[in-house]
Amino acid sequence: MRRSKLEMYIDILKVLAQRGPLKLTHVMYKANVNCSVLKEYLDFLMKQGLVEERTIGKRRVVYAITQRGITVLKYFRELKQVLPIVEEARNQMPTPY
35-85 pLDDT, tens digit per residue, is 999 999 999 999 999 999 999 888 889 999 999 999 999 998 888 887 766
Q: How far apart are the first and last CA of the chain?
A: 13
Domains of the chain and any CATH numbers: 5-91 (1.10.10.10)
CA 23, CA 44: separation in Å to the nearest integer?
A: 17
Is the pLDDT assigned to residue 97 strictly greater than 70? no
What's the pTM value of the predicted model, to 2 decimals? 0.81
Question: SS3 for 23?
Answer: coil
